[in-house]
């Protein structure tokens, strides 16, 4: 979500891991300690933090589609939402994307997480149609 976010969609990176300084510190290189402390947080802790946010967006969709779609189609939709749509929308605000450049403020993920989940749920509910019976 934070890779080359200056463009509209950013760029793709398959793997996300600890920083080189964190790996060096874990390997016992004390010289990397200052660089890790200067970052103010662990890169992998941010990955877990973002994982919880994307799970929240996906759970909003699950509530709208409960008992309306087959499980595998829900898995497919959730995979697209969490792997493609959510990282692009998140990059727009977090990490210096185009919304961030316009001065947009997102407080605790409320707009990115809930708006993305809500719009995805609405789009999918429109496609699926009303509950029958």
Q: Tokens representing 81?
A: 């939402």
Alpha-carbon distance 51 to 58, whole Å? 11
- Check residue 56 and give its pLDDT: 92
- Number of domains the chain contains: 1
Residue 8 domain flag: no
Residue 121 domain flag: yes
Q: pLDDT tens digit string along 57-88?
A: 999 999 888 888 889 999 999 999 998 888 88
Residue 58 domain flag: yes
* Backbone region of residue 101 per phi and psi (left: phi > 0; alpha: psi in -120 to 50; beta: other values): alpha
> How far from the centroid of its chain's Cα atoms is residue 119's Cα?
15
Domain that holds residue 109: 46-128
Query: pTM of the full predicted structure?
Result: 0.76
Residue 3 domain flag: no
């Amino acid at each position: 979500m934070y890779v080359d976010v200056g463009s509209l969609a950013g760029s793709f990176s398959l793997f996300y891991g600890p920083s080189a300084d964190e790996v060096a510190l874990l390997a016992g290189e004390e010289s990397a300690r200052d660089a890790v402390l200067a970052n103010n947080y662990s890169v992998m802790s941010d990955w877990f933090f973002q994982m919880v946010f994307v799970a929240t967006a996906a759970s909003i969709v699950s509530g709208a589609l409960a008992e309306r779609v087959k499980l595998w189609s829900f898995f497919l939709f959730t995979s697209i939402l969490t792997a493609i749509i959510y990282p692009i929308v998140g990059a727009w605000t977090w990490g210096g994307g185009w919304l961030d450049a316009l001065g947009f403020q997102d407080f605790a993920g409320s707009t990115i997480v809930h708006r993305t989940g809500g719009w995805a749920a609405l789009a999918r509910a429109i496609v699926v149609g009303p509950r029958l019976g």
